[in-house]
């Protein structure tokens, strides 16, 4: 079996090389910094799917003395036919030479057979330094393409396009932070056209990466379905002795269990988010999100969250049930179905903190104290009393997934999860709506779904993800 293709990503210091490597290798652990010299030695980053390496990106230091290197090459070359050997001779002769340590590091993988991805910053002017770099790369004789990755506000891309076209067979604009997935595949196809031995493996790579993307969407839908089943059915429980029952008022017990229930539900949503991020190999994302506390507008239980993600009365009707089917004596009907309903968080004491979220419009999950048995009593708080809570969690989960699905691994900015309009769900077909609603009702009433119900639930959520994806892309 032939080895998988290797691409050396080279260029001037601090012009986006590491960002290109991070995105194309799906690795957000690669250091990306504004200071030149972050990368001091070449380092390989393979991209694998199901244990199979599709290709390898090599991050390299930037050129430091390209004109001096080119001067040496010209002085030691007799004709164009010996250019690749001359480049190899330069690396072998100057290994360990502090003057050319960066050039030797970046040229080493190239003389070993790597293809070249030359990265330039289209926001800075073209210079003689760049021309020397490109000439050195052309001397290597390796297949190569150039990427214009504009970092600053100025635009010299037209000049770059003309200059690069004289040295490289393929020249593309490529924003490593924002380039859509299809552009990643397009680069692989372009390289396959430059090197016959790579055409077939890179065709297979694009196919496998496309299949991986579809598989991740299905897996994300299953992860969401499991989390929603858990969140909708969860009860906070406590077993009390007779002495504890006598010494604890129902109000105190309700407040304790309620606080635990809230905390656990918040933590479960955070676990869901981390699971989705890891599924897409995002290990180090920082979110632009206030801590999930009672006073946060982005909190799972905040009034702001309810307004953005709870579905309408009309939607509930088309999902196969009316206001009478929503628990809680018609509170949803009184609020036109826009609240978390007669019991997303119903019952018991609202307290000072709870009143911040929903005031007196909603009934929190009730406190239930079972009968005395063997000297013990069991107290429970939960589960949620209607389905609106599920729609809030679903909306937030799908929105988070969308940001992760479209986020490149070069991104280092904070992930902003501002609430979006919930009307996207109105585009979901009726069968999927009913499957989601039935799953919510079964979870809160029965506590668990059968394997077939889990599968139907996940498939309906996947349809919702597709609807949201289309809605966001057309809106943005």
- Contact (Cβ atoms closer than 8 angstroms) between residue 363 and residue 346: yes
Q: What is the mean pLDDT of residues 466-474?
A: 90
Q: Write down the pLDDT at residue 354.
A: 31
Structural tokens at position 279: 């599924």
Q: What is the mean pLDDT of residues 142-170?
A: 93
Q: Is the pLDDT of residue 360 over 50?
A: no
**Is 173 a member of any domain?**
yes
Long-range contacts, stretch 365-373, CB < 8 angstroms, 24+ apart: 365/258, 365/261, 367/250, 367/253, 367/254, 367/257, 367/258, 369/240, 369/245, 369/250, 369/253, 372/242
Burial group, residue 267, by CB count within 10 angstroms (0-12, 13-18, 19+): exposed
State how far the Cα of 309 lies from the Cα of 418, in Å rounded to an integer: 11
> Tokens 């995002």 correspond to what residue?
282
* 175 and 294, same domain (yes or no): no
Structural domains in the chain (count): 2
What ranges make up the beta strands (E) of 154-269? 170-173, 236-241
**Is 432 a member of any domain?**
yes
Average pLDDT, the chain: 83
Q: What is the mean pLDDT of residues 296-314?
A: 74
Strand pairing partners for 251?
A: none
* 414 and 324, same domain (yes or no): yes
Nearest residue to 341 (alpha-carbon basis) of 323, 359, 353: 323
Range of the domain at 430: 215-475
Q: Is the pLDDT of residue 295 over 80?
A: no
The CATH code of the domain that includes 161 is: 3.40.50.300
Nearest-10 Cα torsion for 230, 236, 241, 242: -120
Q: Write down the pLDDT at residue 328.
A: 35
Nearest residue to 23 (alpha-carbon basis) of 117, 107, 92: 117
Q: Is the pLDDT of residue 32 over 60?
A: yes
Write b or e for each residue in 166-202: b if 16 or more Cβ atoms lie within 10 A of its Cβ, otherwise e.
Answer: ebbebbbebbbbebeeebbbbbbebbbebeeebeebb
Q: What is the mean pLDDT of residues 22-49?
A: 81
* 179 and 222, same domain (yes or no): no
* Top-confidence residue, 261 or 309: 261
Q: What is the mean pLDDT of residues 171-179?
A: 93
């Amino acid at each position: 079996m032939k080895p998988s293709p290797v691409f050396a990503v080279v260029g001037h210091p601090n012009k986006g090389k590491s960002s290109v490597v991070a995105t194309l290798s799906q690795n957000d652990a690669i250091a990306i910094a504004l200071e030149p010299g972050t990368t001091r030695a070449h380092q390989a980053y393979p991209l694998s799917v199901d244990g199979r390496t599709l290709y390898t990106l090599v991050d390299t230091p930037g050129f430091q003395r390209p004109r001096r290197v080119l001067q040496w090459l010209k002085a030691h070359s007799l004709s164009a036919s010996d250019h690749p050997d001359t480049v190899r001779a330069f690396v072998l002769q100057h290994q360990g030479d502090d003057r050319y340590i960066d050039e030797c590091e970046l040229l080493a993988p190239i003389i070993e057979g790597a293809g070249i991805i030359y990265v330039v910053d289209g926001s800075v002017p073209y210079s003689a330094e760049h021309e020397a770099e490109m000439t050195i790369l052309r001397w290597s004789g390796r297949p190569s393409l150039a990427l214009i990755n504009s970092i600053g506000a100025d635009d010299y891309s037209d000049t770059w396009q003309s200059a690069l076209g004289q040295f490289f067979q393929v020249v593309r604009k490529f924003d490593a932070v924002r380039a859509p997935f299809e552009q990643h595949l397009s680069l692989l196809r372009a390289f396959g056209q430059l090197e016959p031995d790579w055409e077939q493996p890179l065709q297979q790579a694009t196919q496998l990466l496309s299949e991986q993307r579809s598989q991740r969407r299905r897996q994300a839908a299953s992860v969401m379905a499991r989390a929603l089943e858990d969140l909708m059915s969860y009860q906070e429980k406590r077993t009390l002795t007779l002495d504890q029952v006598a010494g604890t008022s129902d109000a105190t017990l309700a407040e304790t269990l309620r606080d635990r229930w809230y905390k656990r539900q918040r933590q479960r949503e955070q676990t869901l988010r981390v699971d989705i991020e890891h599924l897409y190999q995002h290990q180090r994302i920082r979110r632009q999100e206030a801590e999930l506390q009672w006073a946060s507008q982005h909190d799972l239980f905040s009034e702001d969250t309810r307004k953005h993600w709870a579905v309408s009365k009309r939607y509930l009707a088309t999902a196969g049930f009316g206001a009478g089917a929503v628990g809680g004596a018609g509170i949803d009907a009184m609020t036109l179905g826009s609240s978390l309903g007669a019991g997303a968080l119903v019952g018991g004491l609202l307290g000072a903190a709870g009143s911040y979220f929903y005031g007196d419009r909603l009934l929190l999950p009730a406190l239930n104290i079972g009968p005395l048995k063997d000297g013990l009593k069991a107290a429970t708080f939960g589960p949620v009393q209607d389905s609106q809570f599920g729609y809030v969690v679903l909306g937030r989960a799908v929105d988070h997934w969308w940001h992760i699905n479209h986020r490149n691994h070069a991104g280092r900015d904070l992930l902003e999860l501002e609430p979006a309009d919930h009307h996207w769900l109105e585009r979901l077909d009726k069968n999927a709506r009913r499957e989601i609603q039935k799953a919510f009702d079964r979870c809160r009433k029965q506590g668990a779904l059968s394997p077939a119900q889990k599968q139907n639930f996940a498939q309906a959520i996947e349809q919702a993800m597709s609807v949201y994806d289309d809605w966001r892309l057309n809106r943005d």
